[in-house]
Amino acid sequence: MTRTLIRNATVVSVDPAIGNPGGTDILVEGDRIAAVGRNLAAAGAAVMDATHFIVTPGFVNAHIHTWEFPLRGIGAGWVSSRDYHGNMHQNLATRYTARDVRVSNLLGALNQIHHGTTTIMDWCHILKDAEMTDAAVDALEESGIRAVFGRGTVKPPITPDTTPYYRIPFPREEIHRLRTGRFASDDRLVTLAMAILGPDWGEYDVAVHDIRLAREYGLISSAHTYGRKGKRKVEDGMPRLAKEGLLGPDHNIAHGNCFSEDELAIVLDAGCTITSTCFTEMMNYEKPALLSRMLKYGGTPSIGTDCDPYFNSSMLWVTRHAFHHQRELDNRSLYAAGAWPAATHHATHPRDALYWATMGGAKALRLDGRIGSVTPGKQADLAMFDTQGMNLFAAAESGDPVHAVVMHAEAADVKNVMVAGRWVKRDGVLAYDSGRLAKLRDEVMAARLRMMREGNYVYRPAPNGPQPEYRV
Ligand SMILES: [Zn+2]
């Protein structure tokens, strides 16, 4: 068994029993954290001096469509989610081959590691068949990341001679194949979930079928909610599902911004988890991210990056943004109540956002017994931030390492990343063959250009006036 001693670090544990001690060692044995404490003895262990490092749990990105990686940078001018769906699902997504899915997921997952994320919920709704599914999973496994693979389905254009996607139940045979095949065990780095339409995107009977299917195979189901009121496929879907006993801790909801107070209480009371993706919600949703609004009903926020076409899918960014977003909401409510500024302290602190980005995500994926904090017995999923670089050297001296990480850190500060006891980024470089990485980059760029050409997609960044960025 390999043993690694990370010596003399500032540990941001996200574990209340451990706190954020300085001058602390982390002993990793095999894939687990064996001990956290001062002056640990570890004969024969490989020792890494971490005197100038802050070590946090690896970030948990609870909602990302990793397949979208090649289409980064094209979405900033899209007016609403209509443009996202028109350009992506009804056009560019239909151009993906299994090979495209593979290179997209591989580079997308490596990019997550680069930013200090060690676990992703890969909400993979690009899959037309088993070949594509296997390509997506192969890529996640090759990247070295921990992933919950959310096997999803496509949302192609609706034509008169085909059944619209919202009437199509999840393919049982595919889940059976996966669950009795490579995903027969949950004791592996990449595990299975079902990324389903849910009642906002599919018909009610489809939602019932899909949630029952997930439960039959012992899987989490996850569904998107709609960003505008009055657009859901089933307006009263959540209360109906709750009444039938179909909502529980095994159902994850992405967004939920438009839930009424009653709906929010119902889904959280049932034990569902909710993942906020503040950036895409800010772009496309009529209501703010839920975040702290979940707390009064016993929910724990989790956060994710969602869609690569819009912005850098870094959990460092989205965690910081979630904090700012919630702080702004807090301040606005205080102001509306005539009580701004807060008399003594803020309701939301950067440590809350870090919790959402680590333990919150772990809970949403039902992995909180294994990951999400630097706790002995848990999997050794760690991010190490170098506090000597230009960006962090002053911030790290502020006395609050959480503040330094959540408010200041960037990918360049993430020098080392470990997943299940294995270094996947070391000394600032991904543990992935550089020649092969260069080939993947070429392949992803070729795929991007081919898909845009085939989809007659015209990207025209115009600084002024109307921006006819796409034709479908
Ligand atoms: Zn999404």
- Is the pLDDT confidence value at 378 over 60? yes
Could you give the dihedral angle defined by the CA atoms of residues 30, 33, 35 and 36, in that order, rounded to the nearest 10 degrees? 140
Q: What percent of the chain has pLDDT over 90?
A: 89
CA of 176 to the centre of ligand 1 (A): 24
Model confidence pLDDT, tens digit, residues 49-59: 999 999 999 99
- Is the pLDDT confidence value at 175 over 50? yes
Residue 459, pLDDT score: 64
Domains of the chain and any CATH numbers: 3-57+373-430 (2.30.40.10), 59-364 (3.20.20.140)
Residue 399, pLDDT score: 79
- How far does Cα 310 stand from its chain's mean position? 15
CA of 307 to the centre of ligand 1 (A): 7
CA of 10 to the centre of ligand 1 (A): 34
CA of 203 to the centre of ligand 1 (A): 19
CA of 304 to the centre of ligand 1 (A): 9
Instruction: Evaluate the omega torsion of the peptide bond into residue 169 and state whether it is cis, within 30 degrees of 0.
Output: no
Confidence band, pLDDT 50/70/90 cuts, at residue 343: confident
Six-digit token string for 335: 């102001």
Confidence band, pLDDT 50/70/90 cuts, at residue 143: very high
- Is the pLDDT confidence value at 83 over 80? yes
Asked whether 224 and 282 are in contact (CB, 8 A), the reply is no
CA of 308 to the centre of ligand 1 (A): 10
CA of 47 to the centre of ligand 1 (A): 40
Calculate mean pLDDT across residues 169-197: 98
CA of 144 to the centre of ligand 1 (A): 23
Averaged confidence pLDDT in the chain: 94
CA of 267 to the centre of ligand 1 (A): 19
CA of 66 to the centre of ligand 1 (A): 10
- If DSSP codes are grouped into helix, strand and coil, which group holds residue 317? helix
Calculate mean pLDDT across residues 219-223: 98
Model confidence pLDDT, tens digit, residues 309-318: 999 999 999 9
- Is the pLDDT confidence value at 396 over 60? yes
CA of 24 to the centre of ligand 1 (A): 38
Could you give the dihedral angle defined by the CA atoms of residues 297, 299, 302 and 303, in that order, rounded to the nearest 10 degrees? -10
CA of 107 to the centre of ligand 1 (A): 18
Confidence band, pLDDT 50/70/90 cuts, at residue 463: very low
- Is the pLDDT confidence value at 135 over 70? yes
End-to-end distance of the chain based on CA atoms, in angstroms? 55
CA of 423 to the centre of ligand 1 (A): 29
Residue 462, pLDDT score: 45
CA of 251 to the centre of ligand 1 (A): 15
The Cβ of residue 166 has, within 10 Å, a number of other Cβ atoms equal to 16
- Is the pLDDT confidence value at 428 over 60? yes
CA of 146 to the centre of ligand 1 (A): 19
CA of 215 to the centre of ligand 1 (A): 22
Residue 240, pLDDT score: 98
Of residues 397 and 4, more confidently modeled? 4
CA of 336 to the centre of ligand 1 (A): 32
CA of 198 to the centre of ligand 1 (A): 13
The Cβ of residue 297 has, within 10 Å, a number of other Cβ atoms equal to 15
Model confidence pLDDT, tens digit, residues 280-311: 999 889 999 999 999 989 999 999 999 999 99
CA of 44 to the centre of ligand 1 (A): 45
Range list of H helices, 19-150: 81-84, 98-114, 130-143
CA of 222 to the centre of ligand 1 (A): 10
CA of 40 to the centre of ligand 1 (A): 43
Residue 460, pLDDT score: 54
Model confidence pLDDT, tens digit, residues 429-445: 999 999 999 999 999 99
Q: Which long-range contacts (CB under 8 A, 24 or more apart) does 81-86 make?
A: 81/227, 81/228, 81/284, 81/285, 83/470, 84/284, 84/307, 84/309, 85/155, 86/470, 86/472
Residue 342, pLDDT score: 87
CA of 64 to the centre of ligand 1 (A): 6
CA of 373 to the centre of ligand 1 (A): 25
Confidence band, pLDDT 50/70/90 cuts, at residue 82: confident
CA of 26 to the centre of ligand 1 (A): 35
Confidence band, pLDDT 50/70/90 cuts, at residue 472: very low
- Is the pLDDT confidence value at 388 over 50? yes
CA of 72 to the centre of ligand 1 (A): 15
CA of 131 to the centre of ligand 1 (A): 22
CA of 58 to the centre of ligand 1 (A): 21
CA of 255 to the centre of ligand 1 (A): 8
Question: What pTM value is reported for the model?
Answer: 0.96
- If DSSP codes are grouped into helix, strand and coil, which group holds residue 147? strand
CA of 65 to the centre of ligand 1 (A): 6
Residue 81, pLDDT score: 84
The Cβ of residue 42 has, within 10 Å, a number of other Cβ atoms equal to 17
Calculate mean pLDDT across residues 73-90: 89
Q: What percent of the chain has pLDDT over 70?
A: 97
